Amino acid sequence: MAADLRGRDLIGDLDFTKSEVEQVLELAWDLKKQRAESVTHPLLRDKVLAMLFFFTSTRTRGSFEAGMAQLGGHAAFIEPKTTQISHGDTEKELGEIYGRYFDGIAIRHCDWGDGNNYINRVASSSRSPVLNMQCEIYHPHQCLADLMTIMEKKGRDLRGKRIAVSWAYASSYLKPISVPQSLILQMPRFGMDVVLAHPPEFPLMPDIVHQAQDLARKNGVGFDVVDSMDEGCEGADVVYAKSWGPLLTTADPDEGKVLQDKYKDWITDDRLMGLAKEDAIFMHPLPADRDIEVTNAVLDGASSAVFDQAENRLHAQKAVMALTMS
């Protein structure tokens, strides 16, 4: 029996049970098929989503905005600097008032130690559902699209499949750790063996890792942490390699850059993909530092699923919005 998700928040990856995630994915595939066949599906006619971005975006903004339009509603992009948030509007005001103006509130806030708390404080005061478009701890909608993509490439039954969640070098800014944390929480619930690979200075949050280990034990799958990219990717069905900052080691960007630059050889190239299974796929949430984090040959190659993965952001998020905002 399908769960009633109306009015539910999606802030952390475990806010929805496994069966509720499956419900989201089933609708996402149905909406994707309808979109491909030019079948309209105005499930949220006259509904409005507030999108509040404290952190820049390309795919997240585009997919939520397009998704709401395709569902028959409207998405209002709100830049915090153009509001009174910096002049006295607290999370309570935002939740109370936007929760009355809008049928849903989506927030992206990745500031270390503040983003997740901010989103939860808004949710505690909102009568409308609050959706996490990424915080410093979780990126649940990205992870839903990732799961959807893996199932499309590897089949719905993922038991026995292995995903390598690996750190990779990037020369740009110190990126959030939310993507790998969401992956290691969600994938064990669906039967995937997880190998987390990162240099010693780039750990994930201990509480998240412990949760992931518990989920792996509960679901009878493997969960290993290694400090070698090669070891992590060996024999993998999915290579998910991206950069993240050493945020648990230092919050100083200059110190973090020094640590990051120690591991310039952590790059996904043809040699690394050769260590994975012959039919392995490469995944990345984008944007990627081309020929630094991952080579063009891999990113644009036959094993790359990154553009299907980016497309599935649209379909997975439409499903979440349709189920929570109807």
Give yes or no: residues 124 and 158 share one domain.
no
Give yes or no: residues 58 and 188 share one domain.
no
Domain-embedded: residue 228: yes
Residue 218 DSSP symbol: H
Show the domain range for 320: 13-139+313-325
Give yes or no: residues 244 and 300 share one domain.
yes
Round the average pLDDT of the chain to a whole number and report it: 97
Look at residue 172 in the predicted model and tell me its pLDDT: 82
Give me the amino acid identity at 97.
I
Give yes or no: residues 234 and 280 share one domain.
yes
Q: Which of 148, 75, 70, 72 is CA-nearest to residue 311?
A: 148
Give yes or no: residues 300 and 179 share one domain.
yes
Q: Are 236 and 163 in contact (CB under 8 A)?
A: yes
The phi and psi torsions of 214 (rounded to 5 degrees) equal -65, -40
Give yes or no: residues 298 and 318 share one domain.
no
Give yes or no: residues 119 and 18 share one domain.
yes
Give the integer Cα–Cα distance in Å for 274 and 227.
Answer: 19
Look at residue 81 in the predicted model and tell me its pLDDT: 85
What predicted TM-score, i.e. pTM, was given to this entire model? Answer: 0.97
Look at residue 67 in the predicted model and tell me its pLDDT: 98
Give yes or no: residues 128 and 194 share one domain.
no
Low-confidence ranges of the chain (pLDDT < 70): none
Give the integer Cα–Cα distance in Å for 213 and 189.
Answer: 11
Domain-embedded: residue 48: yes
Domain-embedded: residue 214: yes
Q: pLDDT tens digits for 180-209?
A: 999 999 999 999 999 999 999 999 999 999
Q: Crossing angle of helices 178-186/206-218, nearest 10°?
A: 20
Q: Strand pairing of 162-167 and 223-226?
A: unpaired
Q: Read out DSSP for 155-207?
A: -S--TT-EEEEEE---SSS---SHHHHHHHHHGGGGT-EEEEE--TT----HH
Give yes or no: residues 20 and 37 share one domain.
yes
Look at residue 242 in the predicted model and tell me its pLDDT: 98
The phi and psi torsions of 164 (rounded to 5 degrees) equal -95, 115
Distance of CA 81 to CAs 40, 55, 87, 147, Å?
Answer: 35, 11, 10, 34
Give yes or no: residues 194 and 295 share one domain.
yes
What are the residue ranges of helices labelled H in the chain?
18-36, 59-70, 91-93, 99-101, 115-125, 140-154, 178-186, 206-218, 229-233, 253-260, 270-273, 296-299, 306-325
Look at residue 136 in the predicted model and tell me its pLDDT: 98
Give yes or no: residues 179 and 79 share one domain.
no
Q: Are 306 and 286 in contact (CB under 8 A)?
A: yes
Q: Are 236 and 281 in contact (CB under 8 A)?
A: no
Number of Cβ atoms within 10 Å of the Cβ of 180: 25
Look at residue 88 in the predicted model and tell me its pLDDT: 86
Q: Are 245 and 177 in contact (CB under 8 A)?
A: yes
Look at residue 70 in the predicted model and tell me its pLDDT: 98
Q: Token pair of 62, please?
A: 């585009």
Give yes or no: residues 258 and 131 share one domain.
no
The phi and psi torsions of 317 (rounded to 5 degrees) equal -70, -35
Look at residue 80 in the predicted model and tell me its pLDDT: 87
Give the integer Cα–Cα distance in Å for 250 and 74.
Answer: 40
- Supply the CATH number for residue 74's domain: 3.40.50.1370
Q: How many structural domains does the chain have?
A: 2
Give me the amino acid identity at 220.
G
Q: Is 304 helix (H, G, I), strand (E, B) or coil?
A: strand
Domain-embedded: residue 116: yes
